[in-house]
């Protein structure tokens, strides 16, 4: 059996206000395994697709078969942990599954250690242990536990290079180096605060990273969706290349139409490109799925959808419809905002004031503007609210 695990990467989290450096080894499988056990390969392939499709119960059943049929192999336990990881991704602020996820990863690490005690050159155990360390470090970094995250990253990094030395023939192996080369170059440039942490790692190469990711996105077998995901996000957040971001968001949404993260990105990039009719169709579909309680279509993603639909109707002077969606956005925000008011809440209340002014309901508008001043400042919210209190909003 010869698998390939790779990938050191960095991500932006928390509405792109905080930089999170994370290290993660993502699964890649060598095509030579197909000749040895096509059943194993088909189970893993099906399970991966089910995870991306947010069909967690089906994925659990698939990887339970892997664990039963291949009890000595760490793949079943590892991918079972990946189901929990995606459950966390769908609601990152909820920490209830953190301990379960760490416990599952440590089970994989222990299993791999037992294998390596008997066979120090076992490739599968080597790669799955690295993957578990990487994902554990990724969670630690998201939670702000920088010391443990750095420790896991430092332990995982040598595994990336060794993995490449053991099998450099597979296109998929370029995923890890592409992610690392790109983000190791870009993050320290844009966020000097992380530069001290980068002293532990090799220098990156922005252009090389993009080329490597594009190669995997086009020709990769098992890793192409991850490559497309990272190209979508880096083109949205760093490169500001809307056309490229749209291309990959469309690919992923078409392949996994019930994945709320992919669908949300497709809606956002259409908004940025001023493709409002297309974006509104996407966000209306998100609300519909949320009302049907599809997994991952929670209050946060519904709030975003109501917000952008409200913006669209306000742009087209459909004031009553705009007001309806901004009120929905406000209602959800008041329900889920914790320590401070979200940008969605602040803007939704401010926009309602503008709409009331346009409708000639000055007293209601004043109430909204005054409430905005009671919130934390978000962008130029204070300036706008104070200006509208002095003079009514006009288009």
| pLDDT confidence of residue 143 | 87
The 10s digit of each residue's pLDDT in 180-233 is 788 778 877 876 776 776 776 778 899 999 999 999 899 887 678 878 988 998
Q: Is the pLDDT of residue 333 over 60?
A: yes
Lowest mean pLDDT among 102-111, 211-220, 343-352: 211-220
**CATH number of the domain encompassing residue 347:** 1.25.40.10
| pLDDT confidence of residue 247 | 97
Kindly state whether residue 191 falls inside one of the protein's structural domains: yes
CB–CB of 30/220 below 8 Å?
no
Among 240, 257, 279, give the residue marking a domain's end. 240
| pLDDT confidence of residue 279 | 96
Instruction: Tell whether 164 and 304 lie within a shared domain.
Output: no
Q: By percentage, how much of the chain surpasses pLDDT 90? A: 58
| pLDDT confidence of residue 163 | 67
Instruction: Tell whether 236 and 315 lie within a shared domain.
Output: no
Kindly state whether residue 266 falls inside one of the protein's structural domains: no
Instruction: Tell whether 14 and 130 lie within a shared domain.
Output: yes
Kindly state whether residue 275 falls inside one of the protein's structural domains: no
Instruction: Tell whether 95 and 186 lie within a shared domain.
Output: yes
- Please name which of 64, 146, 139 lies closest in space to residue 105, comparing C-alpha atoms: 139
Q: Give the separation between CA 67 and CA 46, rounded to whole angstroms.
A: 14
Q: Which residues 6+ apart lie within 8 Å of 174 measured at CB? A: 212, 213, 215, 216, 220
Instruction: Tell whether 20 and 165 lie within a shared domain.
Output: yes
| pLDDT confidence of residue 27 | 40
The 10s digit of each residue's pLDDT in 361-387 is 999 999 999 999 999 999 999 999 999
Instruction: Tell whether 172 and 316 lie within a shared domain.
Output: no
Q: Give the separation between CA 181 and CA 101, rounded to whole angstroms.
A: 28
Dihedral sign computed on CA atoms, order 122, 123, 126, 129: negative
The 10s digit of each residue's pLDDT in 46-65 is 998 999 999 999 999 999 99
Kindly state whether residue 13 falls inside one of the protein's structural domains: yes
Among 191, 215, 240, give the residue marking a domain's end. 240
| pLDDT confidence of residue 200 | 67
**pLDDT class of 29 with cuts at 50, 70, 90:** very low
Q: Is the pLDDT of residue 323 over 70?
A: yes
51: helix, strand or coil: helix
Q: How many domains is the chain built from?
A: 2
Q: Give the separation between CA 69 and CA 140, rounded to whole angstroms.
A: 32
Q: Is the pLDDT of residue 34 over 60?
A: no
Instruction: Tell whether 331 and 233 lie within a shared domain.
Output: no
Q: Which two tokens stand for residue 56?
A: 């967690």
Q: What is the dihedral of CA 98, 101, 107, 112, to 10 degrees?
A: -120
CB–CB of 106/99 below 8 Å?
no
Q: Is the pLDDT of residue 1 over 80?
A: no
Rounded to two decimals, the pTM is 0.81
- How many CB atoms are closer than 10 A to CB 37? 13
Instruction: Tell whether 69 and 199 lie within a shared domain.
Output: yes
Q: What is the mean pLDDT of residues 6-12?
A: 35
Among 240, 259, 287, give the residue marking a domain's end. 240
| pLDDT confidence of residue 153 | 67
| pLDDT confidence of residue 222 | 66
Segments of the chain assigned E as strands? 3-6, 11-13, 18-20, 26-29
Considering the chain, what is the average pLDDT of its residues?
A: 85
The 10s digit of each residue's pLDDT in 129-181 is 877 887 888 788 788 786 787 677 677 767 667 767 777 776 766 776 777 78
CB–CB of 20/142 below 8 Å?
yes
**CATH number of the domain encompassing residue 222:** 1.25.40
Kindly state whether residue 201 falls inside one of the protein's structural domains: yes
For the chain, the C-alpha Rg in angstroms (whole number) is 23
Which H or E run includes 311? helix 299-315
202: helix, strand or coil: coil
Q: What is the mean pLDDT of residues 301-321?
A: 96
Kindly state whether residue 285 falls inside one of the protein's structural domains: no
Instruction: Tell whether 230 and 324 lie within a shared domain.
Output: no
Kindly state whether residue 177 falls inside one of the protein's structural domains: yes
Instruction: Tell whether 204 and 350 lie within a shared domain.
Output: no
| pLDDT confidence of residue 30 | 40
Q: Provide the domain limits for residue 48.
A: 3-240
* 366 compared with 45, residue with greater pLDDT: 366
The 10s digit of each residue's pLDDT in 277-293 is 999 999 999 999 999 99
Kindly state whether residue 341 falls inside one of the protein's structural domains: yes
Q: Is the pLDDT of residue 21 over 50?
A: no
Instruction: Tell whether 178 and 48 lie within a shared domain.
Output: yes
Q: Is the pLDDT of residue 31 over 50?
A: no
Instruction: Tell whether 132 and 216 lie within a shared domain.
Output: yes
| pLDDT confidence of residue 126 | 75
């Amino acid at each position: 059996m010869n698998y390939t695990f790779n990938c050191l990467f960095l991500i932006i989290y928390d509405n792109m206000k905080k930089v999170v450096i994370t290290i993660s080894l993502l699964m890649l499988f060598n095509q030579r395994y197909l000749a040895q056990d096509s059943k194993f390969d088909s189970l893993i392939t099906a399970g991966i697709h089910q995870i991306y499709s947010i069909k967690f119960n089906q994925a659990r059943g698939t990887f339970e078969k892997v664990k039963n049929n291949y009890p000595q192999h760490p793949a079943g336990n590892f991918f079972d942990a990946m189901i929990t990881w995606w459950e966390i991704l769908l609601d990152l602020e909820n920490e209830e599954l953190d301990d379960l996820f760490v416990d599952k990863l440590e089970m994989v690490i222990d299993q791999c250690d037992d294998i390596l005690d008997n066979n120090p050159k076992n490739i599968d155990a080597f790669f799955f242990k690295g993957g578990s360390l990487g994902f554990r470090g990724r969670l630690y970094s998201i939670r702000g536990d920088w010391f443990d995250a750095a420790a896991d990253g430092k332990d995982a990094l040598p595994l990336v290079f060794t993995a490449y030395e053991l099998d450099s023939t597979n296109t998929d192996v370029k995923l890890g180096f592409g992610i690392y080369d790109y983000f190791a170059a870009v993050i320290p440039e844009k966020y000097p605060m992380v530069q001290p942490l980068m002293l532990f790692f090799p220098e990156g190469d922005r252009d090389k990273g993009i080329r490597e990711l594009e190669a995997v996105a086009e020709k990769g077998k098992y890793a192409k969706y991850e490559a497309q995901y990272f190209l979508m996000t880096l083109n949205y957040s760093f490169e500001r290349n809307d056309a490229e971001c749209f291309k990959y968001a469309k690919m992923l949404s078409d392949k996994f139409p019930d994945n709320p993260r992919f669908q949300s990105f497709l809606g956002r990039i259409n908004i940025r490109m001023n493709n409002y009719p297309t974006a509104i169709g996407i966000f209306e579909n998100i609300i519909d799925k949320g009302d049907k309680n599809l997994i991952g279509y929670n209050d946060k993603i519904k709030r975003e959808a109501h917000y952008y639909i409200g913006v669209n109707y306000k742009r087209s002077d459909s004031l009553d419809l705009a007001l309806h969606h901004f009120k929905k956005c406000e209602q959800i925000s008041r329900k889920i905002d914790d320590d401070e008011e979200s940008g969605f809440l602040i803007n939704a209340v401010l926009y309602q004031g503008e709409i009331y002014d346009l409708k000639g309901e000055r007293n209601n508008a004043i109430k909204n503007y005054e409430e905005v001043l009671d919130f934390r400042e978000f962008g130029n919210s204070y300036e706008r609210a104070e200006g509208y209190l002095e003079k009514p909003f006009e288009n």
